[in-house]
């Protein structure tokens, strides 16, 4: 984390630091993780801080919460460049990179109302192939319809 | 070439050119009566489950099965347990326990893929919503090859409902597999292919051109594939009213075409091809329909593993 970022947000004792979030996406990250502020965690975020790698980035820190792997997988869809640092007693004990998998199973639902995966009583889990990582485009494995990044984000953070 | 035996037929995209050529060579043999096709499926059961109306696809599959000596069981959705609310998946599971192969059609996109995942026996997609109609595409390509030979140097036009028409979509995929270089998409803007279809077509080396006016390009075409505007799939009836009757292929239009042009149609037609075209050399659609039974016989034989010469 750059010095300027550190100055803006202090270190946390225990919890998760989500770094290298694409600039402007920090609020979407909170929504995706269902963090409303009412849970009691101390949450700090900075947006649009300089980044050597990306020009600008956002950072989200959540004290008292260690992200689980299913939450990390979801993050890959809206913040594919993010790094997750798990902090205990001010030390980073684990670094996780979010990795966008080739297939996304059970996280997104197909936008096509006529897709078999949208029928409630059918035993089928929506799955998508990632056909482009940047910009994100996914394709339903059942009906073939495409979903772009904006629609993925809207669905995940609504 | 992948073995045909026990393969599901969900999309024409699941097949390579050489695999389709193999299917076509067996179709030739059946038409030319070079092989004994009287009883190769004796003792086998073919199930047909059509959750949407069908004339040619269901009847030609059932005819093909009977000709091969198989028994046919037919699900009637309106008088089966589906009417009591049984799920599609449970219905397919039951059919799977009765039959050796299932031919199905559904108004829902992806239903055939789900059926193939559920069933141990092969599933043949006779159409799933707006998505795929693989066996129609196989018949269409076979027809072009029989009349024109190689597809590569042909300029092909696809006319009509390219957004909701599954036969049009599968046709475009099929001719792309066979190396067509230039494809004219002729439709109102509202009925252009969906972005997922265009994305798939771009994976092939096919030049795509779009026009709303068939008069501009009719003289350039070697094959004109005409499709019906899919009234039943329009979410908004007003949108259908705006585009219905947009195109009519008649002798006046064809007077500007090459003499060697062939006009195809997966049928049923409504009013997009005038009856006056039926008796001209342009009309290939009845020939195309007549290949339905022998090609589906060949397909059933390959899937059931009763024909092997490789």
Name the least confident of A8-17, A59-68, B120-129, B182-191. Answer: A8-17
Determine the average pLDDT of the residues in B28-56: 90
Note the pLDDT of residue B35: 80
Note the pLDDT of residue A9: 64
Instruction: Give the residue among B199, B227, B17, B6 at the shortest CA–CA distance from B133.
Output: B227
Q: Which residues of A touch B172 (CB under 8 A)?
A: none
Whether the CB of B108 is below 8 Å from some CB of chain A: the reply is: yes
Average pLDDT, chain B: 93
Average pLDDT, chain A: 90
Residue of B nearest to A120 (CA): B87
Whether the CB of B125 is below 8 Å from some CB of chain A: the reply is: no
Which residues are registered as beta bridge partners of B104? B49, B125
Note the pLDDT of residue B38: 66
Determine the average pLDDT of the residues in B92-111: 97
Question: Which of the pair, B166 or B81, is modelled with greater confidence?
Answer: B166
**pTM confidence score:** 0.90
Q: How many CB atoms lie within 10 A of CB B103?
A: 31
Determine the average pLDDT of the residues in A89-93: 93
Instruction: Give the residue among A75, A135, A68 at the shortest CA–CA distance from A101.
Output: A75
Contact between chains at A145 and B111 (C-beta distance less than 8 A): no
Name the least confident of B40-44, B153-157, B242-246. Answer: B242-246
Which residues are registered as beta bridge partners of A133? A136
**B66 in catalytic set:** no
Residues 6+ apart with CB under 8 A from B105: B49, B50, B51, B52, B54, B57, B58, B125, B126, B127, B128
Distance from CA of B232 to the nearest CA of A (A): 13
Distance from CA of B85 to the nearest CA of A (A): 10
Q: How far is CA B207 from the centre of its chain?
A: 22
Spatial distance between the Cα atoms of B40 and B305, rounded to a whole number of angstroms = 10
Residues 6+ apart with CB under 8 A from B167: B127, B133, B136, B137, B140, B227, B266
**B258 in catalytic set:** no
Are B8 and B124 within 8 A, CB to CB? yes
Note the pLDDT of residue B310: 46
pLDDT range class, residue A6, cuts 50, 70, 90: low
pLDDT range class, residue B236, cuts 50, 70, 90: confident
Note the pLDDT of residue B242: 72
**B133 in catalytic set:** yes
pLDDT over threshold 70, residue B250 = yes
pLDDT over threshold 70, residue A32 = yes
Q: Which residues of B touch A121 (CB under 8 A)?
A: 87
> How far, CA to CA in Å, does B145 sit from each of A60, B24, B152, B203?
61, 9, 10, 23
Name the least confident of A118-127, B10-19, B171-180, B224-233. Answer: B224-233
Contact between chains at A116 and B130 (C-beta distance less than 8 A): no
Note the pLDDT of residue A70: 78
Note the pLDDT of residue B83: 65
pLDDT over threshold 90, residue B129 = yes
pLDDT over threshold 50, residue B93 = yes
Question: Which of the pair, A1 or A18, is modelled with greater confidence?
Answer: A18
Note the pLDDT of residue B26: 96
ipTM surpasses 0.95 = no
């Amino acid at each position: 984390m750059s010095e300027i970022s550190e100055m803006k947000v202090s270190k946390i004792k225990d919890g998760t630091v989500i770094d290298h979030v694409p600039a402007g996406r920090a609020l979407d990250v909170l929504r995706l993780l269902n963090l409303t502020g009412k849970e009691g965690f101390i949450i700090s975020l900075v947006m649009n801080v300089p980044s050597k790698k990306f020009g600008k980035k956002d950072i989200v820190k959540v004290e008292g919460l260690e992200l689980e792997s299913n939450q990390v997988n979801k993050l890959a869809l809206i913040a594919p460049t993010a790094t997750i640092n798990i902090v205990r007693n001010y030390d980073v004990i684990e670094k996780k990179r979010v990795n966008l998998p080739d297939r996304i199973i059970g996280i997104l639902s197909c936008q096509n109302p006529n897709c078999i995966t949208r029928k409630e009583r059918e035993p089928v889990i929506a799955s998508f192939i990632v056909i482009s990582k940047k910009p994100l485009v996914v394709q339903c494995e059942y009906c073939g319809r495409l979903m772009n990044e904006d629609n993925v984000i809207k669905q995940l953070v609504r | 070439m992948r073995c045909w035996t026990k393969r599901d037929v969900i999309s024409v995209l699941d097949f390579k050119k050489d695999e389709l050529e193999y299917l076509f060579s067996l179709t030739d043999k059946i038409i030319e009566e070079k092989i004994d096709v009287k009883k190769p499926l004796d003792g086998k059961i073919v199930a047909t489950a059509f959750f949407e109306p069908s004339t040619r696809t269901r009847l030609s599959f059932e005819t093909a099965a009977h000709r091969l000596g198989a028994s046919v069981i037919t699900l009637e959705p309106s008088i089966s347990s589906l009417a009591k609310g049984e799920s599609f998946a449970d219905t397919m599971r039951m059919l799977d326990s009765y039959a050796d192969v299932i031919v199905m059609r559904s108004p829902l996109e992806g239903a055939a893929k789900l059926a193939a995942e559920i069933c141990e026996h092969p599933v043949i997609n006779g159409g799933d919503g707006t998505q795929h109609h693989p066996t129609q595409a196989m018949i269409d390509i076979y027809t072009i090859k029989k009349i024109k030979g190689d597809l590569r140097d042909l300029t092909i036009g696809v006319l009509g409902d390219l957004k909701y028409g599954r036969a049009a979509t599968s046709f475009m995929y099929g001719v792309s597999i066979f190396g067509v270089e230039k494809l004219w998409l002729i439709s109102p803007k509202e009925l252009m292919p969906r972005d997922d279809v265009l994305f798939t077509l771009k994976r092939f080396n096919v030049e795509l051109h779009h026009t709303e006016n068939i008069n501009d390009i009719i003289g350039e075409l070697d094959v004109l594939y005409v499709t019906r505007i899919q009234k039943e799939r329009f979410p908004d009836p007003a949108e259908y009213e705006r585009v219905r009757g947009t195109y009519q292929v008649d002798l006046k239009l064809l007077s500007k075409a090459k003499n060697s042009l062939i006009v195809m149609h997966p049928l049923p037609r409504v009013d997009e091809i005038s009856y006056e075209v039926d008796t001209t050399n342009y009309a290939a659609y009845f020939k195309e329909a007549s290949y339905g039974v022998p090609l589906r016989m060949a397909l059933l034989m390959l899937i059931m593993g009763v024909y092997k010469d490789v």
